[in-house]
Amino acid sequence: MELAQLRYFVAVVEEGGFTRAGARLHVSQPGVSAQVRRLERELGQRLLDRSGRRVTPTETGEAVLSYARAALAAVEGVRRTAEEFSGLLRGRVALGLIPGAAGAAMEGFDMVEALGDFHDEHPRVEIALSEDTSERMLAALLRGELDLAVVGLGGEPPAGISCQVVLDEPLVAAVRADDPLVARSVDGGIPLAALRERALISLPRGTGIRGVLERACAEAGFAPRVEFEAAAPVVLVRLAARGLGVAVVPSGAESGAGPRAGAGLCALPITEPALNGRVALAWRTAGPAGPAARALLGRLRAQAPGRPAP
């Protein structure tokens, strides 16, 4: 049994097919298939069900999968430990981001600058960036598929995850200046109940702000009527500027929509209750496994202006 065979087997399961696994590993599809078949012959068991459109593990394959992952993780740990003692930091850090986080203006916390400084000091460390919803990234952190993530918090982080809040902004309803909500606002704001019958424009399910909105509406006795979704607040604001609904976004998002969209918008703070959107740096409470990820976490935490989440 060879480590390469275990690596190919795990990749096929995670990617759901031989072609995608080959692309991920930079190996031809026939090469991946041949190695997995050799592993199956050696074990005397069929590990993969190839009958459907997506390749899935058999019952035996599911049982073997955790051991294969553990073996690969152990080998990676040996390599990383040896490198750590050599004083040369190298390796790979998987960092997840909510859409737009890398370019977002977060006071006192510039993700691009932080990553650039880290790369200057540790050029042998590969940083793999990906974007996804907060819900999926928190799950990926717990599974060990991500080392760190910048997520939106809709409540308390799940057990096993620690967070440091880097941005805490009130949520506002962005509407056109001629929208009836503007005339009904009191002291510049509107109660959450005013959105009960309105078409809303929001981030997708699984994001922190969407979670805050849905939870608050449920407590107020209604379900939000979300008719448009987009992954970036600036897009939500532009949709609101076209009169397509009320965008629920962090305060200040309207200023990034550009002069044409922003000029015709009003940002009405949501009150009764006041809602806040929080962005946080998240990691497994036990800490990242590798020295490179631990070093990057230390750098980001030192530069982040926030505080630990409850």
Does residue 93 sit in the same domain as residue 148?
yes
Does residue 183 sit in the same domain as residue 250?
yes
pLDDT at 259: 47
Does residue 196 sit in the same domain as residue 266?
yes
Does residue 124 sit in the same domain as residue 143?
yes
147 or 288: whose pLDDT is higher? 147
Residue (of 43, 42, 32) closest to 9 by Cα position: 32
pTM (two decimals): 0.64
Does residue 62 sit in the same domain as residue 197?
no
Does residue 148 sit in the same domain as residue 185?
no
255 or 104: whose pLDDT is higher? 255
Q: Which residues pair with 121 in a beta bridge?
A: none
Does residue 251 sit in the same domain as residue 204?
yes
Please write the tens of the pLDDT for every residue from 67-124. 998 888 888 778 767 765 555 577 789 999 987 666 555 556 778 888 888 898 888 8
Does residue 288 sit in the same domain as residue 158?
yes
Domain that holds residue 209: 167-277
76 or 23: whose pLDDT is higher? 23
Kindly tell me if the per-residue pLDDT of 308 is higher than 80.
no
Kindly tell me if the per-residue pLDDT of 143 is higher than 60.
yes
Does residue 173 sit in the same domain as residue 256?
yes
Does residue 153 sit in the same domain as residue 290?
yes
Kindly tell me if the per-residue pLDDT of 144 is higher than 80.
yes
Does residue 245 sit in the same domain as residue 101?
no
Any idea what the CATH number is for the domain that residue 36 is in? 1.10.10.10
Residue (of 5, 3, 11, 14) closest to 35 by Cα position: 5
